[in-house]
Structure 1
């Protein structure tokens, strides 16, 4: 589902917003490709989450899983190798964080019966026998919301570029403000003529909390000739 709304909108630009997104994302190192998924997930207490980690480099014998709570550093959950049992750190157990590894390439971690305390970003890490190189997955952000909490879609406003910028620099900067959404799992994607645009895009690194909801801003700067804007009251798609 997508929400797009705004008083000013470029005819050739489509802004795609998704509250939940779960693609495969990769961390790439020399000679290795690490993929971890899902990227983000929202759960209510009592549900379970399985995180997958894949790597294509057969020499990566050791595997580690880390937890990073909000505004905290990385905490090691468990470590294992292809020839030994899993070794859990204090405060973590197999009953809660079950790790399976059928072969060197692919491993899973299942977080059972999630609670609010499990809200964090989780990373897989793999390294070679001699520990020369470390390869992190891209992370999985888990948000746990209350039983009665409502997922709220964003209100989105698109602001047109300034005439001064167009006249003096032959550039046009479009600004998107997404506000009033909950939780903070929001990804903004710009599309120009149906094609995803990454060049000239600047998006806030994280959402800003405003009371019980969040806001996020993104900017797209493009050549003025590409942007043909017109007034409109709203668009829903």
Structure 2
């Protein structure tokens, strides 16, 4: 009886430790990611494990684990004998490939989501309204765009923008399509790290999302494909112009 109780307690403690460790690593990951995107760790700069651990008041282990995870996204790179560095800006070729992939994936998603428009539309309207509201808040904070906002101001805007796309992708009803889109999120983050055009294209992005929403409301498959393709091509042009 005592042996069984000891084993049970030990197992619970072990599971709790694993969960706590993962939560700590995820928190460190998020903190480093924000440094990459807010400009405090610019492309090419060094990411010292010990210095990051001191800054975040954690041990080096979760920092190392977070950097390994970030390396897989392409946001950081490991240089032999030099440690980790923030990845250089995306090249024009990488930008072209990223938008090519997004177009393949997201045009396929709108085609499949069209068959679920009755369920999708209420969620998509909410996602669009949140995107519009987030843009309005950015303008309020920075005086209607007179001063470029920093990353903290843009965080909610970026999240709302991407959530509009994810809402459509999830409605396609294909778990592997959704997983592929979610795996692209880090590269979308890297795009924002590469080109600081977030405030410049708010009005255009909202107008393009409005066209996509209208296409779902009319139920025209060709309009859906065209509106999503047009939006992604426009974003790619703006990114290339700013890069």
TM over 0.5: no
**The structure with more strand, counted as a fraction of residues:** 1
TM, length-normalised to structure 2: 0.25
Question: Which has the larger helix fraction?
Answer: 2
Which of 1 and 2 has higher RCO (CA within 8 Å, sep 6+)?
Answer: 1
